[in-house]
Structures are given as C-alpha cells and as structure tokens.
Amino acid sequence: MFAITVRRHATISRFFSAVCDESRCSMLGKPPFRRLGGPMAWSERPITPDTEGSQGVTVRPGRMKDVPGVWKLTEEVKWNKHQDMIETLFKMCENGWNIAEKDGDVVGCYLSHEFDSGLKTAGHFIVSPKMQGRGVGAKLMSKYFEEFGDRNIYAGAISPLLDTYEKYSGAPLSKGDTGGNYYGVFKNIPLPPDMEQKYHLIDFRHVDMSDLIGYDTSYHVVPRPEMLKIWLGQTTAKSLVLLEKGKIAGYGSIRPAMNGFYLGPLYAENTVGTMVLLKGLIDLIPRDSSVDFFLPHSNEAGREILKANESTIGLYDTFHKFATKSYIPVPKWNNVFALLSNECALC
C-alpha cells in the first residue's frame, strides 16, 4: 500500500509551474498582507452597529455562487489565497458563510464553521476596503455574537483586532497560543545527514484514509473526515504523508496561492520528520517559489528552519488563538509546523 515513493521531478505539475511565473511571485519585503492600525481598549468603546455607512447593507447566508465575491474581497485585502482555496472553503463549510451585501455586491463576509461535536470556529472576516470604517464590520460582528454569543467560539486574530473582538463578544477573551504568518522562500532545510532515509513520503491517496483521519484526529482532537478529504483533494493541491517504519509520522499539503504557494497543514511527530516532510513538499513546487504559512511559535523545527532561512523568509503578522469562553489547547500543538487553516480549524 505504501510502495509508491514520491519523486521530485516526476510530480511537479504543469499547473504549479504556470501559477508561479516570475511576474506573479511577490518578493520578500513586499508582503501580500496589509497591516492594521492600533486599537483602543474594548471597555472604552461603544458598539455602533447601525451607523449611516452600513445602511442598505444586508447580511445573509453565503452560497456557492458567492465564491467570486468572497474571492474579490480576499484579493482586495491582499490575503494570499487563491480562488480555488475559497471554493474549497465553501465546500468544506457549506453553511458556514455569512455575506454582507449592498446593491447586489458582496461587501463583507465571515466564515463560522460548526463541527458535529458542537465546536464552533470563526474566521475570514473581511469588509471591502471601499466600505471599511462605516459600521459594516460592526454589523457583522453584532449579528454573529447575537446569534452565537452563548457558545465557546475558537478563532485566531491579528494583534490589533483582539480588543475589538473582546468588545463585541462582551467579555474578556480566553487567550491561547500565538504564531506567525510567514512568507518567503525556503532556501535551506537544516536536515541532519542520513536522517532522510528513515522515512518515506507518499501521496496521501495511497494511504488508507481512515488511518490518515485517525492521525489527523490525534492533532485536531475533533475528527474532520469530510473536511480533510475536500482540503487534501483540492485538484491543485499536493498532499504527502510521512511514513516511518510503515506508520504515519506526519502529513502535509501545499497548493497555489495568489503569490506563490500556501503550505498547510504540516504536522509531524518530531523535528527531523517535519524537515523531511517540508523538503518533500517544497520539492514539489518550482525552485525558489515563495510560500505562505501560519507557524505556531512553539514549534521547535519552525525555529530552526526560520533561523536557517532568515534572509529569505519574513514574519508579517502575529496571530493569537483564542476562545470566547475557555481556550483549551490541542495536545500536539507543538508538533504543528503549519496550520491547515486559520479560519475553520483548531490547528
């Protein structure tokens, strides 16, 4: 079952090469995300969801036909994704989207996914730059907390928005782990000599899916079989499983983004395994492509890999995991090199 070893040159797809032509791959120093301004303390700020600027804006559930509208918003705020990824997120969280609409245009959105276990996550909160600062975001947040305020919602936020979320949720957030959103080229993976031979890398399609789901659950805690099949099976994604003595010791996935590629998840049992898997995934994309990923600060391999690539990979935002009531970290958080998604998952 695990006989097919992944080989670098044979697996670089034509599509991967096409999406990373030089003109579209942005250089380090020009991060694809926009930074945000500083906040006021939440307790000092009144909620103003119905300001004049948000009048005529309606909030409704999202549907598949909203993929282009949400992609347009995502591009406008320069989040480094791809329309394929937005479509995949819609397939994964069919009923999770809410859309702010004005005159038939999508002007805002958020994604709130509910797992069967009752766990709720939130993310992909965007208002079109031309409508920002007019109360549309306030309207979306107020509606969300009116509906789900009694739940323990897991999310991630960039630093300036933590106070705002605290204010709209109505109580101090339970803050958890932090990480960085990094972007750049992996020039050097500091693998100790001869360690690679201990492992095999194979395409995820050659692994028994129930084994992979079981392995994923050892990280994510809540089983997510459908979500995983859709995410790993996205046609433009490449997903590899790391095997040690025939047993799953990690897995990861990489796919095209607007600029370069998006890496996530990348989970592995230890530092060497992380490096072997990362090397295998990077070998699947054109050399010197830029990669975007969310790395928890506590990941040991992450620290070594960043040090070895300090001139080519940069941090452009810090993210904070939090829950609205009680944050319980996932048990293998330290083994997570790249989150699957910062919007609809625990890790």
Site size for ligand COA, by CB under 6 A?
23
Dihedral of alpha carbons 135, 136, 138, 139, sign? positive
Q: Is 318 a residue that touches ligand COA (CB under 6 A)?
A: no
Q: Which stretch binds ligand COA (CB under 6 A): 56-64, 131-139, 193-201, 222-230?
A: 131-139
Contacts of 92-98 with CB under 8 Å at 24 or more apart are 92/226, 92/227, 92/230, 92/231, 92/344, 93/227, 93/344, 95/61, 96/62, 96/344, 97/61, 97/62, 97/63, 97/66, 97/70, 98/59, 98/60, 98/61, 98/62, 98/140, 98/143, 98/144
Residue keyed to tokens 């928005």: 161
Can you tell me which of 24, 45, 91, 332 binds ligand COA, judged by CB under 6 A?
45
Residue with nearest beta carbon to ligand COA: 137
Can you tell me which of 56, 61, 68, 133 binds ligand COA, judged by CB under 6 A?
133
**Residue with Cβ nearer ligand COA (125 or 215):** 125
- Report d(CA 185, CA 290) in Å as an integer: 5
**Residue with Cβ nearer ligand COA (267 or 319):** 319
Q: Is 50 a residue that touches ligand COA (CB under 6 A)?
A: no
Task: Give the other-Cβ count within 10 Å of 244's Cβ.
Answer: 17
Under 8 Å between Cβ of 147 and 299? no
Q: How many residues appear in the chain? A: 347
Q: Is 167 a residue that touches ligand COA (CB under 6 A)?
A: yes
What distances in angstroms separate CA 23 from CA 83, 148, 177, 289, one per listed residue?
A: 18, 43, 36, 12
Q: Is 61 a residue that touches ligand COA (CB under 6 A)?
A: no
Can you tell me which of 12, 28, 158, 315 binds ligand COA, judged by CB under 6 A?
158
- In 3D space, the residue among 84, 344, 68, 319 whose CA is nearest the CA of residue 227 turns out to be 344
Q: Is 70 a residue that touches ligand COA (CB under 6 A)?
A: no
Can you tell me which of 62, 69, 96, 135 binds ligand COA, judged by CB under 6 A?
135
**Residue with Cβ nearer ligand COA (42 or 251):** 42
- In 3D space, the residue among 150, 177, 212, 121 whose CA is nearest the CA of residue 321 turns out to be 177
Q: Is 260 a residue that touches ligand COA (CB under 6 A)?
A: no
Under 8 Å between Cβ of 332 and 302? no
Q: Which stretch binds ligand COA (CB under 6 A): 133-141, 281-289, 298-306, 332-340?
A: 133-141
Q: Is 161 a residue that touches ligand COA (CB under 6 A)?
A: yes
In the bound complex, what is the minimum distance in angstroms from residue 292's beta carbon to ligand COA?
Answer: 15
CA 342, chain centre distance (Å): 4
**Residue with Cβ nearer ligand COA (71 or 125):** 125
| Residues linked to residue 241 through DSSP beta bridges, in sequence order | 202, 251
Q: Is 132 a residue that touches ligand COA (CB under 6 A)?
A: yes
CA 236, chain centre distance (Å): 16
CA angle centred on 271, ends 193 and 330, rounded to 5°? 170
Looking at residues 73 to 92 of the shown chain, list those that interact with ligand COA (rule: CB under 6 A): 77
Can you tell me which of 6, 57, 126, 207 binds ligand COA, judged by CB under 6 A?
126
Can you tell me which of 2, 13, 24, 39 binds ligand COA, judged by CB under 6 A?
39
Under 8 Å between Cβ of 105 and 16? no
**Residue with Cβ nearer ligand COA (16 or 322):** 322
Q: Is 48 a residue that touches ligand COA (CB under 6 A)?
A: yes
Contacts to ligand COA by CB under 6 A:
36-37, 39, 45, 47-48, 77, 125-127, 132-138, 157-158, 160-161, 164, 167
